[in-house]
Structure 1
């Protein structure tokens, strides 16, 4: 018999002991010795019921994670029917073993010992004695009949005969003389209940520890993936460089910057703009990496279409002065608007339906983009993986004139704090992911960050989608200078402090006092000095967490070895994660 079945037997036996004990009180009252046992009886009765409740509570805790979500009433049915077939359910028993693991044998031992204690209680209370059984059976058969009438019938014999009833005398003597024995049994019951509770607590704690360890391992894996993302970015850049074989003039390519929290799928979003006679043609694409072995398994699915799903209020815009108007159109003021972060809505298609696309290697990306596909243009062939190119949108615009962050910071009214914080988070996260790759070989200044006009509303810019230039089809793209992290990270810190206040550094008194320097390196040094002074105002403006992130970018990198990639993990936890928290608190605040 399994430990789970034994637990059901104990659960069924305990009410019988409690019910029989109630009959003893009636027997004692009729037999005339109630006052002699009343105090001890009440104490024993209360202690026994408490231990029974403790046992039931332990069973509920034990059963809670074992039942399926669709059968929430199973626990109540098990408790209400201890003799039911559910206590013999092998599936529940299997789940119990999986839950308790190494503690299962100890659990069985404890419930077997509890069963023995209950048997000893039955023996000690003389449940099998003639008088008690007669009284108990008669009381049960009487149903709702007046208890006094039942007992009078049982004890209708003469008083002298009742006094001579050996079973009654034996019960009275045993009850009065068994105080210590019953106390010991209840003490054993209490200890076993405590042991059972300990086993369950240990099991729950082990489950929590395992869950925590899994979460830590998962987070560590995510952190490692984010910190090594620049390697994947470099591979894709080189593939795009190799696939751009056209000589068409007027091409422009921009990589959308993204804040990534998980990397279950390596994905890049790019915008290709091509100048036509009187308009610009815009192609937005999504490139996702697929491992060759995984792709070839028919059971796997890959993303076949992508559609941004905007949250309510995403078209909220802030009007600015006429200086932001486009071209010669003076009647329509240019507006900038921060769209709420889009929630990806991915339609997955079984891999076998993509056979045609799998065999379509992209040799010329320009040519492939001209073939307006609805699902997939094909793939770029890497050494150990394929990068699938999917269309996101296609449209035209009269004038393609992205707005730089440098321009945006000079406009009025200023961006709202949540908008500025969202941009800061995206920039810091993208710097971590892309620095030292061909996408971002040097630094990330405010002039490098661009926002694209909405083709459906050219007067509004999508501020939740910052981009950087990605002229991989330019021969000079392979000759860009590799900047050192100690030079580039402080420059990012300057951008973050400008976003904190919504104003450019060069108009601040801290910077104006230092004068103008024509030499680029000296000017950057003066910018850094002014930003460090300006840093003293950040705590009051945006709080200590934001101030600490900027301080680390401006000065923290000086004390770190930069010959390894350890700075990336430091930046992840000292810059990106705190900015995440700042953004979340402000958004939910």
Structure 2
């Protein structure tokens, strides 16, 4: 018999012990010796019921994680029916073994010992013994009951004869002489209940530790993946470079910056713009690494949102305007807010009911983009994986003039704090992911960050989708220099402090006092000096976490060796994670 089944047997035997004890009280009242045993009886009755409750509670704790979410009443049914077939359920027994693991044998031993104790208690109090049964029958048959069920007379014999009845004396002596035996059995029951609780507590703690260790391992794996993402980004860049074989003039490519929290699906989003005679053609695409069939099926979910190509000149009657331009007396300035949090949810939802269309390798990305596809243009073939290119939207616009962050910071009204904090998080996360790759071979300055006008409303810029130029059309891009991290991070820190206040550094008194320098390196040094002074105001404006993140970018990198990638982990925990917390607190607060 399994340990789980034995627990059911114990649960069913405990009421019999309670019934046997109750029979003693009834017999004592009939036979006239209730006062002599009342105190001992009540103490034992209370202790027995408490141990029974302890055992039942342990069973509930044991069963709670074993039942399925769709059968929440199973525990109540098991407790109410200890003789039921559910206590012999092999599936529940299997779950119990998985829960207790190494403690299962100890659990079985404890439950078996409890069964022995309960069996001994039942024997000690059993009314099936001849002496107790005779005394009870003799006493019950000697008395009569009135209409109300109360005893009129306990015995027809004289008082002295009743007390000297052999069966009653045996019954009385059995209870009185068994005080120590019952106390020992209850003590054993209490110790075993405590041992059972210890086993359950250890099992729960082990499960909690295992869960924590798994979370730490998962977090560590995610951190490692984020810190090595630049290698993955470089591979994709080189594949795109190799696939762009056309000689068409007027191509422009911009990579959307993303804050990634999980890399189970490494997805890139690009905007490809091509200059035509009187308009610009815009292709938004996403590139995913993974299994072809699943990704192609999931891409069909995008088809519903796919925008058809618009005709040139479709906005000939609408003047192009800036979302941040100040309005006149008759019009209010239009302002673009953050349409969504900057943390993208990159998920794949396979549409199993649809069949995937054949997908071919992309040899010329320009030609493939010219072919209308609803799900997938094809794939770029890497050495050990494929990158699938999917359409997101396709349209035209009369004028393609992205707005840089440098321009945005000079315009009014100023960006809201949540917008500025979201941009700070996205920029720092993207810097960590892309620096040292061809996407971001140099530093990330405010002039490099661009916002694209909405094709449906060219006067509005999507401020929640920052982009950077990706000139993989130019052969010289292969020879772009790699900036030193010690020069690039401080420049990023300057951008972060500008976003903190929503104003450019150039107009601050800290910077104006230092003068203008034509040499780029000297000018950058003056910017850094002014930013360090300005840093003293950040804590009051945005909090200590934001201030510490900026300070690390401005000065912290000086103490970290840059010949390895250790700086990435430092940046992840000292810059990106604190900014995540700042953004979350502001958004939820």
TM-score, normalised to structure 2, is 0.90
Relative to structure 1, the CA distance from residue 23 to residue 239 in structure 2 (aligned partners, 3 Å threshold; closer, same or farther) is same
User: Gaps (5+ residues) in structure 1?
Assistant: none
> What's the CA shift for 1:510?
1.1
Q: 1:265-320 CA distances to partner (integer Å, 9 max, x unpaired)? A: 11100000111111111100000112689999999999999899999999999999
The structural deviation recorded for 1:575 is: 0.8
After TM superposition, give the deviation of residue 322 of structure 1 in Å: 7.6
Displacement of 1:144 in angstroms is 16
Superposition deviation, residue 133 in structure 1: 4.2
Structure 1 contact 287–389 (Cα < 8 Å) conserved = yes
* 5+ residue gaps, structure 2: none
Verify the 8 A CA contact 1:135 1:151 in the aligned structure 2: no
Instruction: Find the counterpart in structure 1 of residue 287 from structure 2.
Output: 287
1:189-588 superposed matches below 5 A: 189-290=189-290, 324-325=324-325, 335-341=335-341, 359-588=359-588
Q: Provide the C-alpha distance between the structure 2 equivalents of 1:398 and 1:236, rounded to a whole number of angstroms.
A: 30
**Contact in 2 for aligned 1:306/1:392 (Cα 8 Å):** yes
CA distance change for structure 1 residues 199 and 2 in 2, over 3 Å: closer, same or farther? same
Match of 1:352, SS state, is coil
Tell me: CA distance 1:132–1:418, structure 2 relative to 1, closer, same or farther (3 Å). farther
Measure how far apart 1:125 and its partner are.
Answer: 2.3
Give the C-alpha shift of residue 503 in structure 1.
0.8
> Structure 1 residues 406, 3: closer, same or farther in 2, change over 3 A?
same
In structure 2, the CA distance between the partners of 1:83 and 1:349, relative to structure 1 (3 Å rule), is closer
- Distance in 1, matches of 2:249 and 2:312, equals 40
1:144-197 CA deviation, whole Å, 9 max, x = no partner? 998994867985555455323333212222322322222221111111000000
1:316 is paired with a residue whose SS is coil
Report how far residue 220 of structure 1 moved: 0.9
Distance 1:160 1:229, change over 3 A: same
Residues 467-499 of structure 1, C-alpha deviations (whole Å, 9 max, x = no match) = 000010012211211101111011111111111
Deviation at 1:112, TM superposition (A): 0.8
Measured in 2, the distance between the counterparts of 1:161 and 1:483 equals: 112
**1:28 maps to what in 2?**
28
**Alignment RMSD, CA only?**
5.0
Tell me if the contact between 1:429 and 1:576 (Cα under 8 Å) persists in the aligned partners: yes
Task: Report the Cα offset of residue 142 of structure 1.
Answer: 16
Asked if the contact 2:299/2:375 (under 8 Å) is kept, the reply is no
How many angstroms apart in 2 are the aligned matches of 1:30 and 1:456?
95
CA 1:273–1:442: 2 relative to 1, 3 Å: same
The answer as to whether partners of 2:303 and 2:375 remain within 8 angstroms in 1 is no
Aligned twin of 2:121: 121
Q: 1:513 to 1:349 in 2, by over 3 A?
A: closer
Q: Is this contact kept in 1: 2:323–2:336, CA < 8 A?
A: no
Cα distance change, pair 324–15 in 1 and its aligned pair in 2 (3 A): closer
Residues 534, 298 of structure 1: CA spacing in aligned structure 2 closer, same or farther, 3 A cutoff? closer
SS at match of 1:152: strand
Distance across 1 between alignment mates of 2:308 and 2:109: 58
How far does residue 22 in structure 1 lie from its aligned partner after superposition? Answer: 2.0
Q: Could you tell me how far 1:551 is from its partner in structure 2?
A: 0.8
Q: 1:348 to 1:433 in 2, by over 3 A?
A: closer
Shift of 1:136: 7.7
Paired with 2:93 and 2:35, the residues of 1 have a C-alpha distance of 47
Distance of aligned partners of 1:6 and 1:145 in 2 relative to their CA distance in 1, 3 Å threshold: farther
1:209-228 Cα distance to aligned partner (Å, 9 max, x none): 11111111111111111111
| CA contact 2:545–2:582 (8 Å) conserved in 1 | yes
The separation in 2 between residues aligned to 1:326 and 1:246, in whole angstroms, is 41
SS in 2 for 1:388: strand
The change in CA–CA distance for 1:321 and 1:305 in structure 2 (over 3 A counts) is closer
Residues 3 and 111, structure 1, Cα contact 8 Å, conserved in 2: yes
3-state SS of paired residue (1:285)? strand
Q: Retained in 2: the 8 A contact 1:406–1:504?
A: yes
- Aligned-residue offset at 1:522: 0.7
Q: Deviations over 1:18-63 (max 9, x none)?
A: 1222221121122222121111111111111110000000000001
- The number of residues matched between the two structures is 589
CA distance in 2, matches of 1:276, 1:405: 26
Rate the CA distance shift 1:427–1:250 in 2: closer, same or farther, 3 A: same
Residue 293 to residue 415, structure 1, CA distance change in 2 (3 Å): closer
**Contact 2:66/2:92 (8 A) holds in 1:** yes
Q: 1:425 to 1:250 in 2, by over 3 A?
A: same
Instruction: Indicate if the aligned counterparts of 1:357 and 1:378 stay in contact, CA closer than 8 A.
Output: no
Whole-Å separation in 2 of the counterparts to 1:416 and 1:2: 65
Q: Distance in 2 between matches of 1:424 and 1:299?
A: 30
Task: Report the Cα distance in structure 2 between the residues aligned to 1:280 and 1:297, rounded to whole angstroms.
Answer: 30
C-alpha spacing 1:299/1:340, structure 2 compared with 1 (3 Å): closer
Change (3 A) 1:138 1:525: farther
Segment drifting more, 503-512 vs 168-177: 168-177
Partner Cα distance (2:367, 2:95) in 1: 58
Question: Displacement of 1:250 after TM fit?
Answer: 1.0
Whether contact under 8 Å (1:307, 1:344) holds in the other structure is: no
User: Larger strand proportion, structure 1 or 2?
Assistant: 1
